[in-house]
């Protein structure tokens, strides 16, 4: 029983140091939080002030944001952001004949990303129509909302996913 006493005591001590053991107000909603007394056969009686539900929810949201940002950073390694149109926005895009449908699809995609699920978008057409502008603007908008986006061309995507071929030994 002794080997567990020290680590458990340290966990309780850290919890008390973080949350305190006296009455306090939640910094978010103002709710009065009163300490509770607990007992453990390992460390005896102790008091700790529990966290408010909104504090716990915010902490979980922060953890999820951190994990998403970390995952997005790993995914963005495959993105070719240097190919993006720097100042592109959907609001500034000017449609031309042959581009209206692409613009509508991009708007629908960015506004209803949840309904699209794991589907992506591939635009094709002649040079100068604004494909890069549209995709750059959509990428920025989605990333601003914490959604992971890989911006790349078909040629670079194939280069990123191609596995190196080893030399054949004869």
The pLDDT score that the predictor gives to residue 28 is 87
The pLDDT score that the predictor gives to residue 3 is 64
The pLDDT score that the predictor gives to residue 36 is 86
d(CA 79, CA 90): 20
The pLDDT score that the predictor gives to residue 168 is 43
The pLDDT score that the predictor gives to residue 15 is 67
Q: First CA to last CA across the chain, in angstroms?
A: 64
Contact 168, 95 (CB under 8 A): no
Q: For the chain, which residues score pLDDT lower than 50? A: 1, 167-170
Full-model pTM: 0.55
Strands of 21-151, DSSP E: 24-25, 32-33, 36-40, 44-48
d(CA 33, CA 58): 17
The pLDDT score that the predictor gives to residue 10 is 74
Q: Which residue has the tokens 């692409």?
A: 102
The pLDDT score that the predictor gives to residue 31 is 92
The pLDDT score that the predictor gives to residue 133 is 92
């Amino acid at each position: 029983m002794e080997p567990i006493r020290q680590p458990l005591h340290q966990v309780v001590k850290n919890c008390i140091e973080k949350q305190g053991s006296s009455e306090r107000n939640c910094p978010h909603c103002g709710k009065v939080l009163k300490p509770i007394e607990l007992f453990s056969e390992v460390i005896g009686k102790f008091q700790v002030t529990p966290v408010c539900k909104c504090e716990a929810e915010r902490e979980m949201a922060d953890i999820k944001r951190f994990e998403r940002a970390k995952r997005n950073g790993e995914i963005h390694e495959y993105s070719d952001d240097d190919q993006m149109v720097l100042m592109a926005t959907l609001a500034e895009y000017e449609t031309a004949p042959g581009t209206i449908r692409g613009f509508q699809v991009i708007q629908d995609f960015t506004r209803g990303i949840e309904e699209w699920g794991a589907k992506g978008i591939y635009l094709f057409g002649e040079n100068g129509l604004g494909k890069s502008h549209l995709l750059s603007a959509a990428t920025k908008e989605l990333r601003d909302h914490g959604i992971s986006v890989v911006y790349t061309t078909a040629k670079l995507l194939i280069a990123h996913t191609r596995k190196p071929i080893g030399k054949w030994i004869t």
